[in-house]
Chain A
Amino acid sequence: MSVRHALLALLSEGPKYGLQLRQEFEESTGEVWPLNVGQVYTTLQRLERDDLIESDDRGEEAGPQKAFRITEAGRTELDTWLSTPSDMTEPPRDELVIKVLAALRVPGVSVHDVIQVHRRYLVELMQQWTRLKEDEADFDVTFALVVDAELYRLDSVVRWLDTADGRLKRAALETPSGKPGPLIRRRLVARR
């Protein structure tokens, strides 16, 4: 996640102090992403070094009494970031996917059990996120957006597990040994 660009976005509203930026950042993410003071000031220093923001006094160390404002270059950088799709071409190396693939190879391990352990854990997490939505979302739209994003992320993993579960069950019916047949194995190899 880009703290750098989030800070630029907050500064696009007008000049702000470091501590104020930290507080507004946390508020604007529904306090789901905590940010420590050190991170804020290091990021501000880098932004200033790159001429994307400027402060009252360029000589002083970044501190609570220093106000920052966005520069023209900073605005351009922010606009470019907002309108450029984030890179999603490379699939992330997902540990859960690797775990399920590994479970297929380990004798005596039921891949369906491995799937269920993760499914239950994910649904329990989703129950907790949904509770947050039930209690607070009506009052805070930014918080609801963050919670929705988390729910969709977890949901997509549950869906993948459901699909994997069904696919493996069908494959086991087609090849009585219970192991994935040669066709499937070839596909798994090809995907690595």
Chain B
Amino acid sequence: MSYLELRQVSKSYGSGATEVLALRDINLAVERGSLVAVMGPSGSGKSTLLTIAGSLEDPTSGDVVIDGASLQAMSRNDKARLRRRTIGYVFQDFNLLAGLTAVENVSLPLELDGFSARKAHAAGMAALEQVGIAERAGHYPDELSGGERQRVAIARAVVGERHLLLADEPSGALDSTNSEAVMRMILSACKQGAAAVVVTHDAQLASWADRVVFLRDGRVLDQTVLPPSPEALLEESSRPRR
């Protein structure tokens, strides 16, 4: 069963003559263990899709189902709990709190959810370990490089038992080596059982995904089919003609 499902999701802003349709009849299903990329130009609706999938915004019509539970049927409190426990967000600009150290940033959602400070700290350290930056745990965001900050943001997104990872242009302004590291981390979270959606305009980032969905003007235009095994590329006969 899909972990995340968008069913006939539409979103419009404004009304009457000034109504803008940001999303139209979007259907999208993401299993645990799989990484889906949503690719589209600015204004195609990809960020709106992500905020709706993450329950930060309600659709105008349609429904979002996470782990079998319909968001439509949930109270605000239930949604807030779902966000704290289940959903990890990674944004382009990291969104770390400047007054907190790396590990405090990572363990904050757990503390808010009622974990003891000690347990939250231990889980935070484990998550930092997972993204290879545990030695920087005591540093504040402004003491970290861009690449390190994004690692912390990913650790915060996967800390605890989060199974849904939502990332909006996660490589931001990072260079290609750091972008690749970010995608490797997201992929490794998927291999450990997370369902992940990455929205991006960058084909190189999108190509890390199991499936790429193309969004245009708020609609799903097309998607990639499961590619054959990569070994096929190395057999001369099956290589595309140049």
Taking Cβ atoms with an 8 Å cutoff, the residues of A that contact B are 31-32, 34, 116, 119-120, 122-132, 134-135, 151-152, 154-155, 158-159, 162, 165-166
Contact residues in B for A127 (Cβ distance below 8 Å): 207-209, 212, 224, 227
Partner of B207, one of A34, A129, A165: A129
Tell me the smallest distance from the CB of B218 to a CB of chain A, in Å: 14
Interface residues on chain B, number (Cβ under 8 Å): 26
Tell me the smallest distance from the CB of A42 to a CB of chain B, in Å: 19
Contact residues in A for B203 (Cβ distance below 8 Å): 122-123, 126, 154-155, 158-159
Taking Cβ atoms with an 8 Å cutoff, the residues of B that contact A are 39, 41, 184, 187, 201, 203-204, 206-209, 212, 214, 221-225, 227-228, 230, 232-234, 236, 240
What's the Cα separation between A102 and B232 when bound, in Å? 31
Evaluate whether A120 and B230 lie within 8 angstroms (CB atoms) in the complex, with A130-B208, A154-B203, A159-B203 already known: no
Which residue of B has the minimal Cβ distance to A151?
B204
Contact residues in A for B230 (Cβ distance below 8 Å): 128-129, 131-132, 135
Most A Cβ at <10 Å: residue of B187, B201, B225, B227: B227
What's the Cα separation between A129 and B212 when bound, in Å? 14
A162→B41 contact, CB < 8 A:
yes
Evaluate whether A128 and B227 lie within 8 angstroms (CB atoms) in the complex, with A32-B234, A116-B222, A151-B207 already known: yes
A123→B208 contact, CB < 8 A:
no
**Interface SS majority for chain B:** mixed
**Interface SS majority for chain A:** helix
B204→A125 contact, CB < 8 A:
no
Partner of B204, one of A124, A126, A131, A166: A126
A126→B201 contact, CB < 8 A:
no
What's the Cα separation between A154 and B239 when bound, in Å? 14
A123→B224 contact, CB < 8 A:
yes
Contact residues in B for A116 (Cβ distance below 8 Å): 214, 221-222
Which residue of B has the minimal Cβ distance to A31?
B234
Which residue of B has the minimal Cβ distance to A158?
B203
B201→A120 contact, CB < 8 A:
no
B225→A124 contact, CB < 8 A:
yes
Contact residues in A for B208 (Cβ distance below 8 Å): 127, 130, 134
What's the Cα separation between A119 and B240 when bound, in Å? 15
What's the Cα separation between A115 and B39 when bound, in Å? 14
Most B Cβ at <10 Å: residue of A123, A152, A166: A123
What's the Cα separation between A129 and B187 when bound, in Å? 15
Tell me the smallest distance from the CB of B87 to a CB of chain A, in Å: 25
Evaluate whether A119 and B214 lie within 8 angstroms (CB atoms) in the complex, with A31-B234, A128-B232, A162-B41 already known: yes
Tell me the smallest distance from the CB of B68 to a CB of chain A, in Å: 29
Tell me the smallest distance from the CB of A184 to a CB of chain B, in Å: 19
Which residue of B has the minimal Cβ distance to A156?
B203
Contact residues in A for B41 (Cβ distance below 8 Å): 162, 165-166
What's the Cα separation between A132 and B235 when bound, in Å? 13
Closest 10 CB pairs of A and B: A126-B207, A131-B230, A158-B203, A130-B207, A132-B230, A128-B230, A127-B207, A128-B227, A124-B224, A127-B227
Partner of A129, one of B214, B222, B233: B233
Which residue of A has the minimal Cβ distance to B240?
A125
Contact residues in B for A158 (Cβ distance below 8 Å): 203
What's the Cα separation between A131 and B234 when bound, in Å? 12
